[in-house]
């Protein structure tokens, strides 16, 4: 079912993005790094979990392309990728338009198929 072996498809990218955003901690980390660059160790101190667990969350976000990391001395600094977040918003808008179109077609069908209201006959 793979289109190009080894190359991620748009669907693969969407899966990675939505998987990354499906976790509350990852969404919170993303909010923080979108507001400004943070070291992974400073991020880890904000959560009631191990440093390794936070590193794994950061790795999922990085793999999805929602954040980037760079080395500064001994620290790893994480920054949010605004363009990637916009791509998620764009995907959601596209899905919304598809569903709105389907709902409009259903409304049209229901309007065509419903009988005209009849007046009670006066006898």
Residue 6, C-beta contacts closer than 8 angstroms, at least 6 positions apart: none
Confidence grade of residue 52 (pLDDT, cut at 50, 70, 90): very high
Smallest Cα–Cα separation from 91: which of 112, 64, 52? 64
E strands, the chain, are 38-39, 67-72, 75-80
Confidence grade of residue 2 (pLDDT, cut at 50, 70, 90): very low
Q: Does residue 97 contact residue 91 with C-beta atoms inside 8 Å?
A: no
Q: Is the pLDDT of residue 37 over 60?
A: yes
- pTM for this prediction: 0.71
d(CA 28, CA 53): 14
Residue 33, C-beta contacts closer than 8 angstroms, at least 6 positions apart: 43, 61, 67, 78, 79, 80
Confidence grade of residue 1 (pLDDT, cut at 50, 70, 90): very low
Higher local confidence (pLDDT), 120 or 97: 97
């Amino acid at each position: 079912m793979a289109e190009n072996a080894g190359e991620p498809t748009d669907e693969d990218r969407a899966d990675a993005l939505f998987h990354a955003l499906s976790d509350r901690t990852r969404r919170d980390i993303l909010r923080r790094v979108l507001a400004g660059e943070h070291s992974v160790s400073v991020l880890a101190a904000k959560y009631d979990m191990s440093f390794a667990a936070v590193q794994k969350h950061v790795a999922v976000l990085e793999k999805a392309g929602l954040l980037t990391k760079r080395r500064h001395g001994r620290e790893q600094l994480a920054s949010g990728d605004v363009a990637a977040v916009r791509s998620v918003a764009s995907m959601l808008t596209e899905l919304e338009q598809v569903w709105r179109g389907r709902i409009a077609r259903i409304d049209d069908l229901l309007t065509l198929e419903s009988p005209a209201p009849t007046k009670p006959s006066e006898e």
